[in-house]
């Protein structure tokens, strides 16, 4: 399934500071059986979708689904607009969702879908409203209640501003970040997890995914998108996307970019075919 357009700009000062999740909204598609490490929430807006566990189970219709990390599944959301969210399975919300799916997938009814999708945007989910939205997902699943939004330690707030302004390739080592906010590395790790609900390293990994996705969606070449997010190269970025999200960065491209690439591919294929075609016998 293609991940829909993510409506954020890679250089925008409002890049979300609420990893560990990635949210998007747009036209759905159909996927073969696949798995990814992120908890996966897909809501069909105003319709339904089909899903099956693995690649041989029966297709089931639902208004939405939540899949556990690393659980093989296939989705058919062609013809529907969808809201899709990936959540870090090691975060508090991710652990609660993972437990409520019993290691596989959980379908959602129309009322549950409506309660989660009504009036919400990807930017709100990836912003300050993310904690409340993920708590609503856990509640809809009947999972263990997620802790109320936390008080963020002042040094963690400072660190978030540092990370927001950090250029690609900046020193994001624990020691360097701790120095910038005036804490010991051990103390920073503790207050960060207490404030955000996920350790610093996974947070940084999901922030990198968000920035790379934003750059790819904006139409920047994949090499530039990788550099903008701090990946070593496009191949490293692609491997990380495939492992965490089950998609590649090229699948994030807006439809216009996809159509242009497809047209170029057809043109090149036609030229190759013409060159290779044997003479017509008379």
What are the structural domains, with CATH classification, of the chain?
A: 21-141 (2.60.120.10), 154-250 (1.10.10.60)
Give me the residues paired with residue 75 across strands. 51
Select, from the ranges 36-40, 226-230, 233-237, 254-258, the one with the highest average predicted confidence (pLDDT).
233-237
Tokens 């009322």 -> residue:
111
Provide the total of helices (H) and of strands (E) in the chain, helices listed first: 11, 8
Instruction: Report the 10 Å Cβ neighbour count for 257.
Output: 15
pLDDT category at 35 given cuts 50, 70, 90 is: confident
Cβ atoms < 10 Å from Cβ of 248: 16
Look at the block and give the residue holding tokens 């802790």.
147
Distance of CA 12 to the CA centre of its chain: 18
Q: Does 80 score more than 70 pLDDT?
A: yes
| 188, two tokens | 């920073």
Whole-number Å distance between alpha carbons of 254 and 134: 26
* In the predicted structure, residue 146 carries a pLDDT above the cut 80: no
- 0.75 cut: is pTM over it? no
d(CA 232, CA 251): 20
Tell me the two tokens of residue 274: 């013409």
| Distance of alpha carbon 260 from alpha carbon 91, whole angstroms | 38
User: Tokens representing 81?
Assistant: 């607009």
| pLDDT band (50, 70, 90) for residue 2 | low
237-248 per-position pLDDT tens digit: 999 988 888 778
CA 199/CA 177 separation, integer angstroms? 14
Residue 14 reports pLDDT greater than 60: no
The mean pLDDT of the chain is 80
What residues are paired with 85 via a beta bridge? 23, 41
2 phi, psi to nearest 5 deg: -75, 135
What is the per-residue DSSP string for 97-137? HHHHTTTSEEEE-HHHHHHHHTT--HHHHTTTTHHHHHHHH
- Which residues on neighbouring strands pair with residue 30, listed in sequence order? 76
> Is the per-residue pLDDT at 63 higher than 90?
yes
Judge whether 216 and 243 are in contact, CB under 8 Å: no
Report the run of H or E that residue 218 belongs to, with start and end.
Answer: none
Is residue 25 scored above 90 in pLDDT?
no
Burial 44-80 (b: 16+ CB within 10 A, else e): bbeebbbbbbeeeeeeeebbbbbbbbebbbbbbbeeb
Kind and range of the H or E element at 205?
helix 200-217
263 pLDDT band, cuts 50/70/90, is: very low
Confidence band of 5 (pLDDT split at 50, 70, 90): low
Proportion of the chain above pLDDT 90, given as a percent = 31
pLDDT at 136 over 70: yes
Q: Are 142 and 100 in contact (CB under 8 A)?
A: yes
């Amino acid at each position: 399934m293609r991940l829909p357009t993510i409506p954020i700009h890679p250089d925008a000062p409002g890049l979300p500071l609420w990893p560990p999740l990635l949210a998007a909204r747009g036209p759905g598609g159909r996927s073969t059986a696949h798995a990814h490490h992120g908890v996966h929430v897909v809501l069909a807006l105003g319709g339904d979708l089909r899903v099956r566990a693995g690649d041989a189970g029966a297709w089931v219709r639902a208004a939405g689904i939540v899949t556990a990390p690393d659980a093989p599944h296939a989705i058919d959301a062609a013809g529907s607009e969808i809201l899709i969210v990936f959540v870090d399975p090691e975060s508090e919300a991710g652990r609660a969702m993972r437990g409520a799916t019993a290691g596989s997938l959980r379908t959602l009814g129309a009322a549950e879908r409506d309660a989660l999708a009504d009036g919400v945007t990807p930017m709100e989910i990836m912003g300050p409203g993310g904690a409340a939205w993920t708590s609503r997902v856990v509640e809809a699943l009947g999972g263990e209640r997620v802790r109320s939004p936390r008080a963020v330690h002042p040094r963690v707030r400072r660190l978030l501003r540092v990370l927001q302004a950090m250029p690609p390739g900046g020193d994001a080592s624990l020691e360097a970040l701790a120095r910038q906010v005036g804490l010991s590395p051990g103390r920073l790790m503790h207050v960060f997890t207490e404030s955000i609900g996920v350790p610093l390293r996974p947070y940084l990994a999901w922030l990198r995914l968000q920035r790379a996705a934003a750059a790819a969606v904006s139409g920047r070449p994949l090499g530039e998108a990788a550099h903008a997010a701090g990946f070593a190269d496009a191949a490293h970025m692609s491997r990380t996307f495939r492992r965490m999200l089950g998609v590649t960065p090229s699948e994030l491209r807006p439809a216009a970019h996809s159509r242009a690439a497809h047209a170029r591919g057809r043109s090149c294929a036609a030229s190759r075919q013409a060159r290779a075609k044997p003479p017509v016998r008379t």
